[in-house]
A = this chain, B = another copy of it.
Amino acid sequence: MDKYALFNKWVSFTASVHSVTHELTKDAKSDSITPVQYNILESITVSQKPITPSEISDCQHLSMPNTSRELKKLSEKNLIEKLSDTKDRRKQYIRLSNEGEAMMNETFKLVESRFLNRIQHTSEEDLEDIDRALDVLQSKLFY
């Protein structure tokens, strides 16, 4: 296997992924929040469990002061709730409020419908190929 060719394939692949992701998600986000705030909400959504500001800071590559600022704004918009840990009172847990959850549900529903639309004419075999390919790449390359 030519690893250099594989690298080039990877480059154009990731470009496609970015472009398709943009296409499926554009204008799906409520315009009451900024892109960074959306990313934060998304990461809270996907991590089922409540998540701490430090974790958000890490996985979003945001400094703690900036994370804190954005969480405050999200809180003021009533999209998230902060709970302090009963054991370690320095820590906080962030979760979506009902309003935040409703908003993210709506966004995801729209993105999902666009996704389904995109694969509506895909044959059953192709869908299974895609499914397997996603598994392969997730486990062997994008881990």
A residues with CB within 8 A of B: 1, 3-4, 6-7, 9-22, 26, 46, 59, 61, 112, 115-116, 118-119, 122, 124, 126-138, 140-143
Contacts and interface: CB of A to CB of B under 8 A. Distances in A.
Given A11-B46, A137-B134, A127 B6 contact: yes
B13 A137 contact: yes
A16 B18 CA distance: 12
Contacts of A46: 11-12, 15
B17 A14 contact: yes
A63 to B, nearest CB: 15
Contact of A134 (B10, B22, B59): B10
Nearest to A135: B9
Contact of A119 (B116, B134, B135, B141): B141
A137 B140 contact: no
Which 7 pairs across A and B sit closest by C-beta, in order of nearness?
A133-B133, A16-B142, A133-B136, A1-B127, A20-B142, A17-B17, A133-B137
Nearest to A124: B1
The CB with the most chain B CB atoms within 10 A, among A10, A16, A116, A135, is that of A10
A73 B65 CA distance: 30
A138 B61 contact: no
